[in-house]
Amino acid sequence: MYDAVCALLDKHDPSDLVGVSCIARGSDSVFARAVLDAGGRLEVVLPSRNYRERKVKPDHAELFDELVKRATTVRVMDFDDAGRAAYEAANDAVVGSVDRLVAVWDGDAGQRAGTGTVVELARERGLPVDVVWPNGAARS
């Protein structure tokens, strides 16, 4: 997955590359790492003030903290608790602040407030969407 995202990002000048991510475990963090490794800047959008303490699992905490530390900007949605409204606000903030969406996605639109929802929102707004799902990739 990481290599496929890097290949897509390699098409862009690192000095102009700004990635916006909610840095959730999985593809959000893969994308964020690829942006930083490509020499781009990272902007983080967190769904709520308690997101780190309530939603970040121990096996993701070190990477999460590293990405937050390396981000040029961290925006926190105006919610005390992570929940559907907070996730929708974060998704809207991400889509509203980019000129292209990179979605690491298998095409399954069954998740609420997940990647499928973000892809649909971006397409409704006329935003170009690059879907990355390499052959042999699988959800974990």
H-type helices in the chain, by residue range? 2-9, 27-37, 51-55, 58-70, 84-96, 115-124
Please tell me the distance from the alpha carbon of residue 91 to that of residue 125, in angstroms, as a whole number. Answer: 13
Please tell me the distance from the alpha carbon of residue 62 to that of residue 85, in angstroms, as a whole number. Answer: 26
Looking at residue 133, its pLDDT comes to 85
Please tell me the distance from the alpha carbon of residue 2 to that of residue 99, in angstroms, as a whole number. Answer: 21
Q: 28 with 35: CB under 8 angstroms?
A: no
Looking at residue 110, its pLDDT comes to 61
Q: Could you give all domains of the chain from N- to C-terminal order, each with its CATH number?
A: 2-132 (3.40.50.450)
Looking at residue 116, its pLDDT comes to 86
How far from the centroid of its chain's Cα atoms is residue 27's Cα? Answer: 7
pTM over 0.85: yes
DSSP 25: T
Residues of the chain with pLDDT under 70: 109-113, 134, 136-140
Nearest CA-CA partner of 81 in 49, 56, 112:
49
How far from the centroid of its chain's Cα atoms is residue 75's Cα? Answer: 13
Looking at residue 78, its pLDDT comes to 98
